[in-house]
Structure 1
Amino acid sequence: MRLLKNIKLWSSAFAMAMCGIVSSCDFLDVVPVEQPGLSDATQDAESTLGFLYSCYAGVRSPMSYTDSEASTDEYALPELWGHAAHKVAYNLNTPQNLIDHRWGSFYRFVGQTHLFLQELENARGISEQQRTEWSAEAKFLLAYYHFEVLRFYGPCPITDSYIPQDTPNASYNGRSHYDYVTEWIVNMLEDAIRSGLPDTRTKDVSEWGRATTVIAKALKARVLMYAASPLWNGSFPYPEWQNKNFETPGYGKELVSKTYSREKWVRAQKACEEAIDAALSNGNDLYRNEEKYAEQNVPLPYIPGINTSTPEGEAFAKKVLLMRYVTQMRPSEGNKETIWGLNATDDNYIASIPTRVLKLNGGNWYSGYSGISPFLYTIEHFYTKNGKLPKKDKTFYAKEDWLKSAGISDREDIININIAREPRYYAWIAFNGGDFSSTLCAGQPLKLELRNGEKQGYNPELFNRDHCVTGFLCQKYIQPNLNLSANNSWNLQHKPKPLIRMAELYLNLAECQAALGNDDALDNLNIIRERAGVPALTKKDISKDMTLMDWVRNERFIELWGEGHRYFDIRRWVEGPKYLAAGKREGLNAEAKVNPTFEEYNQRVKVPQPYAWENRMYIAPVFYNEVYKNPQMVQSPGY
C-alpha cells in the first residue's frame, strides 16, 4: 500500500530533475552548478524504480465528485459547488472554456513513459529480469493512457515514441481512426503480457497497484467492449466527421465506423472470458466475507421493515454490510475483488457525510458537506427485495404511494419507496428517517432528520453551500466502522479506489453475451445478484418490456453506481438524451424551504439546475490551442 506515496515522492523529485530536459519550467533564476541530469534517473535500481513509479502518477481515480464522471444521472451536487461535474452536465465544456483538461496530462505521462523506456536500456544496477518486467509495465501504461484519451476524447493521436520538444508542428500526428487506436492499444497490452508482466504481486505490499497480466487482460477486455459498443460500432451521431489532412493507415481520413460489426462483440466476449479466467486462476474473486463487520465490532444496521433478531433478518443485514465493505477493503484485509486499484485520497467521504453529525466537546458541531445526493432515477432503479424494478414489481407499492409515509413508529419520515428494497440499496443509499452509517456518531448511527433545518435539513443561514439536494444521501464512500468522537478524532482510513474490480468483469461479459443474443448472460448477472442477496433472474424475466440488455445495463447501473462507469456507459450506448437531457434529473423537494412539512418535502420535483444535453457531448472537446498548433488535428464534432 506504499505505492501511491512512492509515486508522489518520486514524481515530485523526478519532475524537478527532468525540468530542464523535457519542459520549459523555471523553478529558480539561479541554477546550481551541479544539476541532476537524465542519466541520474537510472543510475541505480532505486532511481530507475522511482522513475517507473513517476510514470504511474497519471493514473486517475474514477470516483471523484469533482470531475466529469459525476455529471450523470447518479447523483446531484449543490449548485454552488460549481465543480467540473456541474459545468460538464450543463454543457459548458468548450474548446475555449475547457472544464476538464485531461488531454495534456495523459500525453505528458505518455511522453514520460516513453522517456523511461528510452533510458531503461542503459539503466545501471538492475537485473535483466527487472529490465524486462519494468519495460512491460511501461508498455501497459502506454496502453492505459492512450485508452483514457480514447474513451474521453474519441479518436486520438497515437504517440508510439518519445517526441522531442523541438519537433516541428507539422510532424505531429493527427487523430487516428477509433478502431486503429483500439488495435494499437490491444497490441501494446498483449506485448506487455507476453514480455514480462507478473501474474500477481503478492510478495511485497508496496508493489500493489502495479501492472500484472490479470490487470492487462481486464483492461484489454474493457477496451474491446468499448469498441464494440454502439457509439463506435456504427451509431456515431456525426458519421461524416473525418480528418482534413492526416490519414490513418488502412482507413484514410475516416475516424469512426459507419457500419455495425457483430465480430467486435465476439472478440470482446472472448477477451472478457480470458480476463475472468486469468483473474480466478490468480486468486481474484468477488468479496464474500459476511463476518467482517463482527471483526470490527460494527453493529447490524437498522433496516426499515427488517427484524435483524430473526435468522432471515440477520442474513439480510449481513448482506447490507457485505456490500458496504466491497469498495472499502484493502487486498491485504482479505479483499481479492479489486483487480486494480488506486490508493489515492479523495474527499468523497466528507462530501457524503451529512451536516451536524455530532456536537463536539467544545460546543461546536461537526458537519460534513452533505452534498452527494442520489437522484430519484437512482432510487427507482435499485431493485426491490424481489430483484425487480419498483415500477415492475407487482408486490411493491403503487407508484402514487411511493412518497407517502410508511407509518413506522418514531420514524414517520421514512417513505414507502425506502421499504422492501434490496441489500445494495440499504448499503449505499441513505434517506430521511433512516440511519446514516453504523458507528459514525461516537459509535452510534446517525438518524437522519433531513427536514429539520437545525440538523441535516436545508438551511442556507447555517450551510449556504453544503446541503442535500434531492432528499437522499450516499453511503458508498463511507467505511463501515467510521467513527467520529466528541473530541473530534477519527479512525478514518483511506481505502483504494477500484479501477477494475471482479464484478465489472462479469458485467462486461454479460453485456457482450446480451449483445450477441446469448442467454448465458443470465448466469453472469446472477453471479453478481447472488453475492448481493438478490433473487436470480430466469428466462421468464426477459420480455419486450425488460429485455436481456435492459437487465444487463440496469445491473451495471446498480453494482457500479458511483464508481465512474456511468459517464462512459451512457455515451458508448448513445443514450445521452434518454438520461441526461434537460428535465430528466429529479429529486424530492429538499431545497424548497427551511423546515418544510412532510407533504411539502415529499414531492417529486425537477432538480433546479441548468442541465443540458447535446450530441456533441458524446466526446469531449480538445483545447483550441492543441488544434491551432497542430495542422494535423481536427476538433471534436459539434464544437
Structure 2
Amino acid sequence: MKNTLSFYSRQICRILLGLSILLCCSCNYLDVAPPEKPTVSNGFDTEAKGLGFLLSCYSGLDAVYASQNAQPELGFSKAPSWMTDYNCQATDETIPYFGWQTTTLQMLQGNVTPSMKWTSDWTIPYTMLKQCYLFEEELAKVTASWLTPDLRNRWLGEIAFLKGFWHLYLLQYYGPIPIMESLYDANASGSDLPGRSHFDYCVDRIAQWLDEAAAVLPAKIDNTEWRRATSTICKALKARLFLYAASPIYNGSFPYPNWRNTNYETPGYGKELVSRTYDPQKWDRALAACKEALGFALNEGGCSLFGYNAASRTQDFTDIDRLMNAEGLTLDKLKIDDRTDENFLKSVMLMRYLLTTIPSDGNREFLWQMGDYMQGREVLIMPYNIIKDSNGSMQGGWVGSGATLYSIEHFYTKDGKLPEYDPEFTPKTEYFQSADLSNKNIIKLNHNREPRFYATFSFDGDQYSPIIVDGEPLTLQTRVSSLHGYAPNRGLALGGYYIKKWIQPDIRYKKADGKASFKRHFAITLRLAELYLNLAECYAALGHDAEAMDALNPIRSRAGVPELTAQMVAESGMSITEWVRSERFIELWGEMHRYYDLRRWLIAPQRMDATSFQGLNAQVPDPTFEEFNQRITLTNLGGKWHTRMYLLPIAEHEVYSNPNLEQAPGY
C-alpha cells in the first residue's frame, strides 16, 4: 500500500520541549504515527521555552552545514563539512582520496541514481518546514503578556525566512519542487499532496517569503544570536535566488525541453515546469536584487570586506598585523615563493585569515555563519606526519582531499591574469621545470602566482605553515613517502597538491603531547565577496562591462592583484563573462558554489569529463623530480557526465508515494 506520509519524509516527530530547544525525532519508516504536537501550556508558557521552540526550527542547519553540532538524536546525522560533502567535492576543484568519499566518487563516475542516499537532502528541508508550520500554528494561540507585538513579528519573520531558505535549498538541488504552504494532515493521501511547481513560480514564492521576513527582521544581530536570521541575510539570499533564476539552465536553455508534469498543475503555468524561452528581464530583476543586497549589507548590515579599505580601494592590514603579533608570527618566519615584498606576504596572510577568523577578530565579511564545525576538522585536509611527539609517534592530518591541476592552472599569476593568457608567465611547456628558487623542488607553475594561490594550495617545497611544528615551519616534501608523499592505505593528495584554505596560519602542534591548537571558526554560508561577484555577473550578462569590472575590482584589490581594466580584458582574449567566472572560481574556491555554478551555466559536460581530473604523478613511492612533475589523468577517479545530473533525483519511494510528483528527467 502506498505510504501517505512519504512526501514530507514519512518520519515520526516526537516533540520534546525543554528550556532551550524543542527536539524533533525523525526516522524513515513506511508506516508511522502522526506527530505529537506540543501544547501552548508546555511550549510557550515562558519566553525561554518559546525561543527554544523557535530555535528548533533552525536545527536542520546543523545537519546540512555543520558537523560538530549535528544532532543524530533528531535523525540528522549527515553532518557534512565542505571537505566531506559530495555537493562540494563532486566538482573540478578537488580530488577526493579514492578510499573515502564514496558518494562523491559515484557522482564523479556518473553513477547517480534515485536509489542512492539522497534522502537527507530531500527530507531534512521538508521536516524542518513541517516544524516551522507547527511553530507558526501554535504561536497563533499564545496570549501571554511576555509575547509583545515586536517579539511576535520577529519570530514570525524568522519562520518566513526559514520557509524561504529551505525551499531555496531544495531548489538548488532539485530544480522545480513542491511548495509546502501549510502543515499537511498526516493522513492525507498521496494524491492530495502537491507535485512540482513551475520553477519560476517557486522563485516568486521564495522571494515573497524572504521579502516578508526582511520587512520585520533586524539588519544585524550581536554575537550571542549569530545563527539567527536578519534582513541582510534575506536580501542576500534573494539576490542569489534571482541570479540562479536568470542563469542559462532556467532561462531558456533547460536541457530537457519536454519535461513537464503528468498530473499536477501550477497556477498560471499549467503542467509546464521550466520556461523554454530566454527572458532578459530575469537579469534585470537579478541585477536590482544584487545591487540592493550589496548596498544593504555594506550600510545597514554593517559588513565590509575583510582587510579592505573601501574609501581608498586598497588593502588594510591593521587586523592582520594584530593577529600575527598575537601569535608571534613575524614576516621573517614566512617563506613564500622567495618573495620579500611586505605587502605580498601580508596579502597571503590576509587571505589565510579570511576564513579562519570570526567577528571578534575584526572580520565583518560574513553575513551568515552556521557554527564552529571547523574546530578540529582541519585535519581532514592537513598532511600526514607534521610532528613527532614525545612518545616518538608522528602526528598530523588525514589528507582526505587535494586540488586538481585545473584548479592550480586557473588561479591568477602575480599580475592578476590566468597563466595561459599571461605573456609574462612561464610558457606551458616549462610548467613542470624547477623554478630555480632556494628550494629546487618548487616548479615554475607554482612560482610568481597571486596571494590567493599561496593561501589556498600547498605543494612540494612550499612552506605549509610557518609555526605549525611547535613554533617552527613545515615545508612539504611530497615526494618522500615517509613524510608527505605517497604511501598505500592512507589519505593522499592524489594530484600532488595539498589544500591550505581553512587552515589557520597560527596553528601549532605541540611536541609534548602531539595536540594541535585548533581554534573556533565558522561554517560560512554567505559572505560579502559573493555579493560583489553576483553583481558583477549580472552586469556582465547585460553587457555593462565597465560596471562589471567595478564590481570585481574590490575583490581583486583586497586579494592583492591589479584591478581589471578594459585594456586587460581586450588583450586577454577573454570576455567579461569569462573574467567574472574566473574571479568567482578563485575567490569562492571550495566554498560549495562550484557544484551549482557548473550546472546553472550549463558547462558541466566540458568541466566534468575524464580529462578534467588531472594532477601530478603523485601516486608513486619516492619518485624522482622528473617522475613526479608530469601531468597525468586520474583515470581511476572517473570523470563521467550525464545530462540527467543537472538535477538530483528524488528517492524512488518518494515518487512512488505521491502520484503528483515527477522524477527528475533522465532517471
TM-score by length of 1: 0.92
Cα distance, 1:54 vs. partner?
1.1
Which sits farther off after the overlay, 61-70 or 493-502? 61-70
Cα distance, 1:98 vs. partner?
3.0
Cα distance, 1:495 vs. partner?
0.6
Residue 498 of structure 1: which of 517, 524, 529 is its match? 524
Name the CA shift for 1:26/1:254 in 2 (closer, same or farther; >3 Å).
Answer: closer
Give me the identity figure in percent. 40
Equivalence map 1:49-68=2 (5 Å): 49-59=51-61, 60-61=64-65, 63-68=82-87
Count of aligned positions:
611
Residue 565 of structure 2: which of 532, 538, 541 is its match? 538
Do 1:342 and 1:499's aligned partners in 2 also have CA atoms closer than 8 Å?
yes
Cα distance, 1:302 vs. partner?
3.6
How far, CA to CA, are the matches of 1:572 and 1:10 in structure 2? 43
Name the CA shift for 1:477/1:18 in 2 (closer, same or farther; >3 Å).
Answer: closer
Runs (5+) with no aligned partner, structure 2: 1-15, 66-80, 308-318
Cα distance, 1:344 vs. partner?
3.6
State the Cα deviation string for residues 352-377 of structure 1 (Å, max 9, x = none): 11010100111111021123211011
Name the CA shift for 1:10/1:531 in 2 (closer, same or farther; >3 Å).
Answer: farther
Q: Which amino acid aligns with 2:43?
A: A
Residue 213 of structure 2 is matched in structure 1 by 192
Name the CA shift for 1:555/1:69 in 2 (closer, same or farther; >3 Å).
Answer: same
Equivalence map 1:239-318=2 (5 Å): 239-282=257-300, 283-288=302-307, 289-291=319-321, 292-300=323-331, 302-308=334-340, 313-318=341-346
State the Cα deviation string for residues 382-433 of structure 1 (Å, max 9, x = none): 0000001111111111101111111223x21111111000000111110101
State the Cα deviation string for residues 447-474 of structure 1 (Å, max 9, x = none): 10100011011011xxx13112111010
Do 1:101 and 1:623's aligned partners in 2 also have CA atoms closer than 8 Å?
no
Cα distance, 1:120 vs. partner?
1.4
Which sits farther off after the overlay, 62-71 or 580-589? 62-71
Equivalence map 1:18-167=2 (5 Å): 24=32, 39-59=41-61, 60-61=64-65, 63-99=82-118, 101-123=120-142, 124=144, 125-167=146-188
Equivalence map 1:475-490=2 (5 Å): 475-486=500-511, 487-490=513-516
Which sits farther off after the overlay, 93-102 or 144-153? 93-102
Residue 15 of structure 1: which of 13, 16, 23 is its match? 23
Residue 585 of structure 1: which of 613, 620, 623 is its match? 613
Do 1:44 and 1:126's aligned partners in 2 also have CA atoms closer than 8 Å?
no
State the Cα deviation string for residues 124-178 of structure 1 (Å, max 9, x = none): 4422211110110010000000000001001000001111211221110000000
Residue 3 of structure 1 is matched in structure 2 by none
Residue 552 of structure 2 is matched in structure 1 by 525
Q: Which amino acid aligns with 1:416?
A: K
Residue 516 of structure 1 is matched in structure 2 by 542
Name the CA shift for 1:342/1:293 in 2 (closer, same or farther; >3 Å).
Answer: same
Do 2:17 and 2:38's aligned partners in 1 also have CA atoms closer than 8 Å?
no
Residue 383 of structure 2 is matched in structure 1 by 354
Equivalence map 1:421-432=2 (5 Å): 421-432=449-460
Residue 201 of structure 1: which of 216, 221, 230 is its match? 221
The answer to whether residue 424 in structure 2 is matched with residue 403 in structure 1 is no
> What is the alpha-carbon root mean square deviation over aligned residues?
2.2
Q: SS of 2:610's equivalent?
A: coil
Cα distance, 1:9 vs. partner?
11
How far, CA to CA, are the matches of 1:64 and 1:49 in structure 2? 32
Q: Which amino acid aligns with 2:591?
A: E
How far, CA to CA, are the matches of 2:327 and 2:588 in structure 1? 25
How far, CA to CA, are the matches of 1:150 and 1:254 in structure 2? 16
How far, CA to CA, are the matches of 1:155 and 1:400 in structure 2? 46
Cα distance, 1:350 vs. partner?
1.0
How far, CA to CA, are the matches of 1:586 and 1:564 in structure 2? 21
Which sits farther off after the overlay, 216-225 or 580-589? 580-589
How far, CA to CA, are the matches of 1:589 and 1:9 in structure 2? 56
State the Cα deviation string for residues 580-625 of structure 1 (Å, max 9, x = none): 112221000101x211111111110011312210111111000011
Name the CA shift for 1:406/1:396 in 2 (closer, same or farther; >3 Å).
Answer: same
Residue 4 of structure 1 is matched in structure 2 by none
Residue 231 of structure 1: which of 217, 235, 249 is its match? 249
Q: SS of 1:562's equivalent?
A: coil
Q: Which amino acid aligns with 1:488?
A: G
How far, CA to CA, are the matches of 1:307 and 1:424 in structure 2? 15
How far, CA to CA, are the matches of 2:34 and 2:197 in structure 1? 34
How far, CA to CA, are the matches of 1:252 and 1:441 in structure 2? 64
